[in-house]
Amino acid sequence: MDFLSNKARAIAPYTAGEQLRDRQYIKLNTNENPYPPSPRVARALAAFDADALRLYPRPEADELRAAIARKEGVAPENIFCGNGSDEVLALSFPAFFDGDGAGACFADLTYSFYEVFAAFFGIPKTIVPLKGDFTLDLDAMRAVPCAGYYIANPNAPTGVGVAREEMERFVASVPDRLVVLDEAYMDFFGESCTPLTQKYANVLVVKTFSKSYSLAGIRCGYAVGNRSLIAGLMRMKDCFNSYPVDSVAQAVCTAAVADGAYYAEATGKVVSERERLAVALRGMGFTVPESRSNFLFAGRAKVSGKEIYTRLKAAGVLVRFWDKPVLCDFVRITVGTPAQNDVLLQQLQKILS
Q: What's the total number of domains in the chain? A: 2
Q: Domain check: are 189 and 217 in the same one?
A: yes
What pLDDT, on a 0 to 100 scale, did the predictor assign at position 1? 80
Residue 257 pLDDT more than 90? yes
- Helix (H) or strand (E) run with residue 79 in it: strand 79-82
Residue 175 pLDDT more than 90? yes
pLDDT confidence tier of residue 2, bands split at 50, 70 and 90: confident
Q: Domain check: are 156 and 50 in the same one?
A: yes
Residue 211 pLDDT more than 90? yes
Q: What is the mean pLDDT of residues 10-19?
A: 90
Residue 252 domain boundaries: 39-259
What pLDDT, on a 0 to 100 scale, did the predictor assign at position 20? 85
Q: Domain check: are 218 and 345 in the same one?
A: no
Q: Domain check: are 209 and 295 in the same one?
A: no
Q: Domain check: are 233 and 249 in the same one?
A: yes
Last residue within a domain, chosen from 259, 282, 307: 259
pTM confidence score? 0.96
What pLDDT, on a 0 to 100 scale, did the predictor assign at position 53? 96
CATH number at residue 132: 3.40.640.10
Q: Domain check: are 248 and 339 in the same one?
A: no
Q: What is the mean pLDDT of residues 1-15?
A: 91
Last residue within a domain, chosen from 200, 224, 259: 259
pLDDT confidence tier of residue 22, bands split at 50, 70 and 90: confident
Q: Angle at the Cα of 48 (from 45 to 49), degrees rounded to 5?
A: 155
What pLDDT, on a 0 to 100 scale, did the predictor assign at position 127? 97
* Selection from 188, 148, 194, 143 nearest residue 168 by Cα: 194
Residue 211 inside a domain? The answer is yes
CATH number at residue 346: 3.90.1150.10
Instruction: Tell me the pLDDT of the chain averaged across its residues.
Output: 96
Q: What is the mean pLDDT of residues 63-85?
A: 98
pLDDT confidence tier of residue 23, bands split at 50, 70 and 90: confident
What pLDDT, on a 0 to 100 scale, did the predictor assign at position 40? 98
Residue 127: beta bridge partners? 106
Cβ contact 236:217 at 8 Å = no
* Selection from 141, 118, 155, 171 nearest residue 12 by Cα: 118
Q: Domain check: are 213 and 302 in the same one?
A: no
Q: What is the mean pLDDT of residues 292-300?
A: 97
